Amino acid sequence: MPPMTHRDETRVLAQCQEVIGYRFHDMTFLQEALTHASGANHRLSSNERLEFLGDAILGAIVCELLFRKFPEYLEGDLTRIKSIVVSSRTCTKISEELGIGEFLVIGKGMSSQDQTPPSVLADVLERLIGAIYLDGGIEAAKRLILRHFEPEIDAVVDGQGSLNYKSDLQQVVQRRYGETPTYLLLDEKGPDHSKCFKISARIGERHYAPAWGRNKKEAEQRAAMNALCQLAGEPIPYESD
């Protein structure tokens, strides 16, 4: 791939700003956000520091939104919703929808891959949030977050979810272990017209944290989400006690 000219860089930065709906006053913030460590001349030139900042801002704004939007929810409910909404899977999805991967500055080794890794797509969104905060302040960052993350909150609360966690888990498990996860019904409670179901995902001989659902489909999706979080070393969003 030939080196990017100044004209090419200007065009790419302009397109990125149009996509995210924010125009930078200081273009170096945007350049830093889009420069992956593999394409940086120095680690401090990459966007890794911005990820640290953007992650904190994203979490704080989502927490404030949940606190104000759902005054009747307990702390545990708010924590569960937040853990799903700010997860790497949700960030990857939003990044893919925006096409941010097209604007990344990456090194030769990574550029030879067919697709940008999901973790990189998730990270660059957080770094863009950090860059917008530094350039335009908290309100500018909040506008971006509300525009793209509030629909995810509504989907989780409605019990629909915009992600198919069972499909995600199957892809991860097949790629990592060459197996297909199964789901076990562990318990059920309630009258026939309003039963709840407790289901656990199983991969090989290992059982993952179970979850309750208002129907088997919902319980399986929640159990899949728990398993994904455990595989990623993240806290599980659905407790079954």
Task: Give the residue numbers annotated as catalytic, written as ranges.
Answer: 55, 126
CA dihedral sign, ordered 19, 131, 123, 144: negative
The CB density around residue 29, as the number of other CB atoms within 10 Å, is 21
Per the structure block, which two tokens stand in for 128? 């863009």
232 vs 3: CA distance, rounded Å: 36
127 vs 159: CA distance, rounded Å: 29
Per the structure block, which two tokens stand in for 68? 């104000």
185 vs 162: CA distance, rounded Å: 24
Bridge partner list, 201: 183
Contacts of 1 (CB under 8 A, 6+ apart): 108, 111
Residue 59 backbone dihedrals phi, psi, to 5 degrees: -60, -40
Helix, strand or coil, per DSSP, at residue 212: strand
Helix, strand or coil, per DSSP, at residue 241: coil
